Amino acid sequence: MKAALCKSLDGPEALVVEEIADPEAGPGEVVVRVHAAALNFFDTLITRGKYQTKPALPFSPSGEIAGVVERVGPGVTGVVAGERVAAAVSYGGAREKIVIAAESLIPVPASVSFPVASAVSVTFGTAIHGLKDRGRVKPGETVAILGASGGAGQAAIEVAKLLGARVIAAASSDDKLEICKALGADDVVNYDAVDLKQALKDLTGGRGVDVVYDCVGGKYAEPAIRALAWQGRFLVVGFAAGDIPKIPLNLLMLKGADAIGVFWGEAVRRHPERHRANMIEVLRWVAEGKLDPRIQATYPLEKIREAIGILDRREAVGKIVLTLD
């Protein structure tokens, strides 16, 4: 079979595509014929040895795949050859066949394409885990999303709307806020042009927002916490701005508020059954036409260097997917 291989930690440019032996399924495992493997910014880091996960060389990048079960290992029940599946795999997806623990497989509805099924685990998985499992978002609540036009933020807008929330999207330019409106944001705030705390207060009649989904950190976190409603929840998702904010804890006490960490990858490892239920819900939304994940471009496996280059240059505005049909 063909595999994209990282044989040295010299970045995406050093990736090669080679023939390697087909894998075998051990107890509790299945071999999946990969039809699509999505790429993320962390694939640029993992090929340089700069990501928290450091696989032994050689390895294949791509942490989310979709395909068809080819062979089932000893002791596997409830999965049969020919089944359409998706999985979050951390790394190893950019190859024609991959061995995956049967418990990690998510069934893919017939109407959902493999590229789309491969591309929803990280962004939508984080959004539904963050907003539902951690943020306990209820219909009618107000959710403010910081960094709302980024990959994590865009998915959060759509998932928050599907959970019945009112969404206030915050980003740094009018162009970015237009993207947020097109995704369904009810209100928008340019946090580089106005006072974020005052804007969130004004948009909620002085009450404050129930939930903040913060993908950015830096200078925006504290004003957003100051704009929380009584018993609001501040979701710590990412630090795209680079700076990790230090927050005066009295702000939480005075509002009876929660600061809540969101760590999707670790949650998937510790609670695969919860992740599975979440992804079944996400793929059901896709099948019903309620979600339409944006695939920016697809590339054949052989063009993986070109595909990762888009992420490396921060030019991605939707998902970049490898196809292996």
Residues in contact with ligand NAP by the rule CB under 6 A: 126, 147, 149-153, 171-172, 176, 215-216, 237-242, 262-265
Nearest to 264 by CA among 148, 67, 90: 90
CB of 254 to ligand NAP, least distance (A): 26
Tokens of 143: 């959710």
Give whichever of 86 and 180 is closer to ligand NAP, judged by the CB atom. 180
CB of 119 to ligand NAP, least distance (A): 13
Nearest to 236 by CA among 134, 133, 124, 90: 134
CB atoms within 10 A of CB 35: 22
Distances (CA, A) of 311 to 42, 120, 179, 206, 278: 9, 17, 19, 40, 26
Phi, psi at residue 25, to the nearest 5°?
Answer: -90, 125
In sequence order, the 6+-apart residues with CB closer than 8 A to the CB of 267 are 129, 133, 274, 275
Q: How far apart are CA 253 and CA 251, in angstroms?
A: 6
Q: DSSP labels for 227-285? A: TEEEEEEEEE---TTS------THHHHHHT-EEEE--HHHHHHH-HHHHHHHHHHHHHH
Give whichever of 241 and 310 is closer to ligand NAP, judged by the CB atom. 241
| Omega within 30 of 0 (cis) for the link into 58 | yes
Q: Report which residue type is found at 88.
A: A
CB of 176 to ligand NAP, least distance (A): 5
Give whichever of 229 and 267 is closer to ligand NAP, judged by the CB atom. 267
Give whichever of 147 and 208 is closer to ligand NAP, judged by the CB atom. 147
Give whichever of 88 and 216 is closer to ligand NAP, judged by the CB atom. 216
CB of 90 to ligand NAP, least distance (A): 13
Give whichever of 60 and 126 is closer to ligand NAP, judged by the CB atom. 126
Give whichever of 30 and 237 is closer to ligand NAP, judged by the CB atom. 237
Give whichever of 96 and 133 is closer to ligand NAP, judged by the CB atom. 133
CB of 238 to ligand NAP, least distance (A): 2
Tokens 């700069």: give the residue. Answer: 50
CB of 86 to ligand NAP, least distance (A): 17
Q: How far apart are CA 42 and CA 50, in angstroms?
A: 9
Tokens 């791509």: give the residue. Answer: 62
CB of 262 to ligand NAP, least distance (A): 5
CB of 241 to ligand NAP, least distance (A): 4
